[in-house]
Copies of this chain bind each other. A is one copy, B any other.
Amino acid sequence: MTAEIPSGPEAAFRDAVAAWERALGQRYVLTESADVAPYARCTLPLQRKIAAVLRPHTVAEVQEIARIATTFGQPIHPVSTGRNWGYGTACPVRDNVTVVDLQRMNRIIEVNEELAYTVIEPGVSQRQLADHLRSNRIPLWMDPTGASPTCSVLGNTLERGFGITPYSDHFLATCGLEVVLPTGELLKTGFWHIPEAKTKHLFKWGLGPYLDGLFTQSNLGIVTKLGLWLMPVPEHFEAFYFKVESDRDLEAVIEPVRTLRQQGVATSPVNFLSRVRVVTLLHGYPWEAMGANSNYAIPEALQQRLGQQTNTGAWNVSGALYGTREQVRAAKHAIRRTLPKEARQLLFLSEERLRLISRFKAIAGRLTGYDMDVILGLLRKSFGIMRGQPSEVSMPTAYWRNRHVKPIPSMDPAADSCGLIWFSPIVPFSIEDIKAANALGKELFEKHGFDYCPTMTAVSGRCLDCTLPILYNKQDKEEAVRAERCYEALLDGFINAGYPPYRVPVTAMNGVVKSGDSFWETVGKIKAAVDPSNILAPGRYSP
C-alpha cells in the first residue's frame, strides 16, 4: 500500500518500487506515509510531496537503484544525511520524487595519517569523523561547519560549503570522487580510475579533463565516496577576537583584515558576526519584551540592550592562527600592528589562556558585569570548531522564532518546525561593496519585517561569503508567506546589485537557472548526455 500517489503513470512507479524492494529488501524501501513524512520536513516555507524513500547500504545497491529508476522513468533525489537545513533539508526540487537516503553508507574507508587524507561515504557525520580521528589519536583535524555534528561531511562538500579552519573550502579539499551515474555506471575521478595509481587521493586534477566540479551543486551523479584532505594538527593554535562599535568602525577594519588574509597572516576565514546574530546564538527571542509586536523585527534599542549583557559589539570578529609557536607569534604581531584603533578588545586566546579565564570567571564576571558563563560557553565552542571539533554552537539561531526551544544537543530544526531560509551572497572584499550589500540587506529585511542578522565570512582575501538567515515562525502562515517574499526580494536585489549567492534553496532554482544563458544551456547538454531519462534530481541546478 503506497501512501502517496505519484502524478506519473502509477503502474511504472509500482513496478519501480517492486524492483527496488527486490534490490534492497522491503525493509529499506519506505512507502508508508508515516515513514516518508519525516523526509518532507523542512525549514523552508514548503510542503513537498515525496513518492518514497530508499535506504541503500552499498554502492552496488545505489547502482541498481539508478538502473531501476532509468528503466521505469522514476525520478530520484539522493541525500547524504538529509540535513541541508535552510536550503531544503532532504526535499527534492519537485513533488513526487523518490528520496535516496545514503545515511546507512557511513563507512570511513581510509585515513592516511602520513599524507593527511581520508576516504569517506555519504553517511559519515562530522562528529563521527572527528571522533574517529580523536579516539585513534590521529593527529589530523577535520574542518567542521557551523551546522550540527550530525550533518554529513560529504553532503556539505558537494553543496560547496565552508568551515573555519585553513581547510575551510570543502570542495577545494576534495581529491577523488566515486560517482554512480544516472544510468548506473560507476565513475571514479582524478587518478582514481587508474587502478594502479597510488596518487588517487594525493593529486587533485588527475590526467585529462577535471570532471569533479560536475558533481557539486548539480544533478549529474550520486557521489558514493569522497577523498578528502585533512589538516595536520599544528604545533600551536590561538584564536583571536575583537569587536567594532559601529558600521563606521567596521569600515575602518575592512582593508586591514583583507591585507591580513591576502598576505597569508590569517590563513583561515575571519568571521564578522553582527550584533543581532550573536544575540540569536546566546539568547532566545525576547517574546515578552516584544509583546504584540513579536511578529516583527526587534528594534535597535532592544538589540543594543540584549547585546550589552554579553559584551557584544556592532560587529564581532573572530579568526584563528595556526603554525609553529614562532609563526603564531609573528602572526599576532602582524595583527596587532595592522589593525586600527577601531578594532576594540583584541583578545588572543590559546588553550592555556582559556583555562585560566575559566578558572577566574567569577572575578571576571564581577569586574566586567558580563555573563561569563554564556561568554565562556560560546568561546569554548567556537574555539572547538576552529580546532576540528564540530559543535552545535550555531544551532540556536534556527530556533530564534520558535517558541519551543530544545536543549542544544537534541536540536533538529526541520523536525522542530523551525522557520529558516539561508540567503548566502558572495560580496567583494571592498569597503564600498560591503557597505552597499549591508544597506541592501538591512532595507529588504526591514521591509519584510525580519531581523537582519548577517555573518560575513572572509573566505579569502578577495571576497566574503555572507550568510543572511531569514528566521520566521513556520506555524504562522502569514509570516511564512512573508519569508518567501523576502527571499525572492533578496535573490533579485542582490543579483542586480552584483552579489549573486553561492548556493540556493531547492525552492529558488527557477530564480537562478535562466533560459537563453549559454552556461545553463551547456549544463543542460551535459545533463542530457549523462542522464538521458532525466531521472536524477530533475530541476536541481539544471534547466
Contact = CB atoms under 8 A, between A and B. Distances in A.
A262 interface: yes
A541 B209 CA distance: 7
A540 to B, nearest CB: 9
B326 A334 contact: yes
Interface stretch (A8-16, A445-453, A516-524): A516-524
Interface stretch (A241-249, A283-291, A384-392, A423-431): A423-431
Interface in A165-220: 166, 171, 181, 185-189, 191, 193-194, 196-199, 202-203, 205-218, 220
A76 to B, nearest CB: 18
Given A209-B541, A426-B191, A518-B193, A500 B199 contact: yes
A429 to B, nearest CB: 6
B326 A330 contact: yes
Given A208-B217, A235-B263, A191 B323 contact: no
A489 interface: no
B199 A209 contact: no
A497 B198 CA distance: 8
Q: How many copies of the shown chain assemble into the complex?
A: 2
Contacts of A460: 202-203
A94 interface: no
A229 interface: yes
Interface string A289-327: 000000000000000000000000000000000111011
19 contacts: A116-B461, A160-B205, A193-B517, A196-B498, A198-B499, A199-B427, A202-B462, A205-B216, A207-B500, A207-B503, A207-B541, A208-B519, A208-B542, A209-B213, A209-B217, A232-B461, A324-B333, A326-B329, A327-B330
Closest 6 CB pairs of A and B: A210-B213, A198-B498, A529-B529, A193-B519, A326-B330, A209-B218
